[in-house]
Structure 1
Amino acid sequence: MATADPRLRSRAQQQQPAPVAPPPPPPPPAETTPAMGLDGSGDAPESSGTSSDDSFKLKFCTVCASNQNRSMEAHLQLATAQLPTISFGTGSLVRLPGPTINQPNVYNFNSTTYEAIHKELADQNTQLYTQNGLLNMIGRNLNIKKYPERFQDWMPGKPRLDHKGDQGYHGTESGVVDVIFTCEERCFDAVLEDLHNKGGRMNRPVHVLNVDIKDNHEEARVGGQAILDLALSLNNAASEERKARGETGWDRGSGGARQGFDEKVPEIVAAWQERWPTLPALWSLAWF
């Protein structure tokens, strides 16, 4: 597992049938019921538990290339488990499959809403994008938050007060997280490089963990379950450290409890890897 301080070295640069009337986007789900996933299941995501409303909660971030499939499935599962969660993509643009491999659908981050993407694809070819699962995926996404966001445009520590409608919003208002989950190695590299470039001005530690997930509907669902399992393990360890050593300095990323938690993370990841041996993991400590 990677252990180098990203502030001390740079990472490498990353890398026709006539359409029928389009269906309307699905309505928002009840707060305790997640939107239907890409596998067609309306059941709540499987997990090893949830974080109760009155307990301490780590703050999480999920990241994939376009903030569409893997990061959004993980975002949904973490938020459904009552964990504070935000999500991003690391690509230069949002890219989704088009009518051919050479004709992707391309959108801007931070401004093009999931609702607008859903409408455009439904207008373009409802049958095609229903068959390949894109409309289901984007219908799920628009019930989680308003639009895909780019990690490199995020300013850690800037309040996220305009995201009150996002699932997992409560606890993320300050714009700081404790753990970042990426879903493939190139996103892991991009996140570490961007944090290095931002200079760690807050001098606050953040654990960056990559869970390698194939970019398809079923693997995203399973990967989301694995990320939730790891998140709950990390959250339990943080809660135990705070109870044993007190909360002093935690919000600044310092103090005995925070140090004890940081030291436990590698062994928690190792134990998780034994439970999920088919999902290779990487870990690094970085700074905001």
Structure 2
Amino acid sequence: MKYRYAMVCSSNQNRSMEAHYLLKRHGFDVSSYGTGAHVKLPGPSLREPNVYEFGTPYKQMFDDLRRKDPELYKRNGILPMLKRNIGVKAAPQRWQDNALDGSFDIVFTFEEKVFDTVVEDLNTREQPFMKTVLVINLEVKDNHEEAAIGGRLTFDLCQEIEAAESWEESIDDIIAAFEKRHRRKLLYSISFY
């Protein structure tokens, strides 16, 4: 693979990790991040989420929720999601704290506010490498079914990008063809490290 990818979502580690899992399985050089202050997973009610610090091992989250209410967290898909995440990497990482070395060529986000956060972060930090980075937003609803669809669409788009001679020269055509084929509008921006 020619490029290094980052998958970024807000704070619950579902959409970015689904894409990370699929790309990693197919040999892509990929990492994943959240942009929130904490990792938030659904709890017994909307007002009672389970909140963890970034860096908390997925295994620890899994064991904690299994202790609290195994039936609830199995039924709502959180335990299977965490089990998948355990197989991908040890713990969630925060974009703002970890993605500082200019090593990514392409960054995917899965909601517009995260896209804005990533682009703003890239545009306000020092840019010592002056290396281009493509940021693409593929809007994906935050549920397990849509995350799976979003992961497959991300994989398709990454294959198109990899097949191009140079993404810088062909990204407009790649995006236009993807939008027409999948009837999904993408946001994208070119920033620098």
TM-score (norm 1): 0.65
| CA drift at 1:134 | 0.3
| CA drift at 1:281 | 0.8
Unaligned residue ranges in structure 1 (runs of 5+)? 1-55, 158-174, 242-259
Residue in 2 aligned with 1:200?
Answer: 127
Is the counterpart of residue 284 in structure 1 residue 189 in structure 2? yes
Runs of 4+, deviation exceeding 3 Å: none
| Aligned residues: CA RMSD | 1.2
User: For residues 42-101 of structure 1, what are the alpha-carbon distances to aligned partners after superposition, in whole Å with 9 as ceiling and x for unaligned?
Assistant: xxxxxxxxxxxxxx4211110111251000000011111111000100111111111111
Return the letter of the residue paired with 2:173: E
Question: CA 1:138 to 1:176, structure 2 compared with 1: closer, same or farther past 3 Å?
Answer: same
Residue in 1 aligned with 2:136?
Answer: 209
Number of residue-to-residue matches in the alignment? 193
Q: Is the 8 A contact 1:67 1:148 kept in 2?
A: no
- For the residue of structure 1 that corresponds to 2:107, the secondary structure is strand
- For the residue of structure 2 that corresponds to 1:86, the secondary structure is strand
User: For residues 126-184 of structure 1, what are the alpha-carbon distances to aligned partners after superposition, in whole Å with 9 as ceiling and x for unaligned?
Assistant: 01001101000000001100000100112432xxxxxxxxxxxxxxxxx6111000000
| CA drift at 1:207 | 0.2
Distance in 1 between the 2:50 and 2:174 partners? 39
Q: Is the 8 A contact 2:108 2:136 kept in 1?
A: yes
Residue in 2 aligned with 1:6?
Answer: none
Q: Greater strand share, 1 or 2? A: 2
Question: CA 1:95 to 1:114, structure 2 compared with 1: closer, same or farther past 3 Å?
Answer: same
Q: Is the 8 A contact 1:67 1:87 kept in 2?
A: no
From 121, 142, 160, the equivalent of 2:86 is 142
Is the counterpart of residue 115 in structure 1 residue 59 in structure 2? yes
| CA drift at 1:215 | 0.2
| CA drift at 1:194 | 0.8
Residue in 2 aligned with 1:74?
Answer: 19
Alignment map for 1:21-170 (pairs within 5 Å): 56-66=1-11, 68-109=13-54, 111-157=55-101
Distance in 1 between the 2:83 and 2:185 partners? 29
Distance in 1 between the 2:114 and 2:177 partners? 23
User: For residues 242-281 of structure 1, what are the alpha-carbon distances to aligned partners after superposition, in whole Å with 9 as ceiling and x for unaligned?
Assistant: xxxxxxxxxxxxxxxxxx530211111111111211x331
Distance in 2 between the 1:67 and 1:179 partners? 21
Return the letter of the residue paired with 1:150: R
Unaligned residue ranges in structure 2 (runs of 5+)? none
- Identity across aligned pairs (percent)? 41
